[in-house]
Amino acid sequence: MMKSNEASYQAQQFATRAGVTVRTLHHYDRLGLLKPSAYTGTGYRLYRESDLARLQQIVTLKYIGFSLQEIKTLLAQNGRDLATALRRQRKIINQKRHHLGMAVQAIEKAELVISSEAPDWEAFKKIIEVINMQNDMEWTRKYYSESATEKLAERATPEVIEQGQDDWAQLIKEVEAALRDGEDPTSEKARSLAARWSNLIQQFTGGDPEISAGLKKLYTDQSNWPAHFQKPYSDEVEAFICAAGGKK
């Protein structure tokens, strides 16, 4: 029931004020997301000023990635449930932002090295790798708690991720070379490689127990990894590092 002193608007007027289409209002009505406050005697929908707040919530939640069904559920729940959902969505958006930042950096690098006569296809390959990385690593989230995932997302800037990838690639290359050269795992060089390995793991986890636990779960469940994802180093490399680090 509308208050007699509250202004009311027919659908077209309300849609214009709200910046949406009449078709959108009708759709939200059918879904039960935003019901008209009343109807005219001839059956036209009537909305009031306070309906704008509800519509603003719907538009905002839709903009940040919630489906209309999720929005309906969230708005029917209490504020605490909504706050939890918003934190979860913020985490997802942060991860996407980091990924987009990496893609932008890859494109900028490609722009610096490309020439019309001889395009640098390695630069374009890097762009594809960065863009595909998000989907490739999405499956690993199940091994980490929500808190650990959020911490990783906050720390994983494009610069940090790229530096980590470069550091790991270089270290794995050096360990593979040591294996080819027949390096003794008990040698000073081998122990130095193992120490660098531990340091890179420490940089990833930041010493956080939750992140460390998630990483351990990930690597103890290799039999269930998706077929497209391969461990970035061989079993021989892993055995060498374990021996050099005094692990069995």
For 97, phi then psi, to 5°, come to: -65, -45
pLDDT tens, position by position, 236-248:
999 999 999 876 5
Per-residue pLDDT at 178? 95
Per-residue pLDDT at 17? 85
Q: Does residue 67 register a pLDDT over 70?
A: yes
Tokens (6 digits) for 6: 């509250």
Question: Which of 217 and 60 is assigned the larger pLDDT?
Answer: 217
Mean pLDDT for the chain? Answer: 81
Per-residue pLDDT at 70? 83
Cβ-Cβ contacts under 8 Å for 236 (sequence gap 6 or more) = 179
Please name each of the domains of the chain with its CATH number: 8-76 (1.10.1660.10), 82-244 (no CATH)
Q: Does residue 158 register a pLDDT over 70?
A: no
Per-residue pLDDT at 1? 45
Q: Which of 95-109, 200-214, 234-248 has the highest mean pLDDT?
A: 200-214
pLDDT band at 8 (very low <50, low <70, confident <90, very high): confident
Q: Does residue 198 register a pLDDT over 90?
A: yes
Lowest mean pLDDT among 31-40, 118-127, 146-155, 160-169: 118-127
Lowest mean pLDDT among 83-97, 115-129, 143-157, 218-232: 115-129
For 8, phi then psi, to 5°, come to: -125, 155
Per-residue pLDDT at 197? 95
Per-residue pLDDT at 185? 93
Q: Does residue 4 register a pLDDT over 70?
A: no
What are the b/e assignments for 86-103, b being 16+ CB within 10 Å? eeeeebeeebeebbebbb
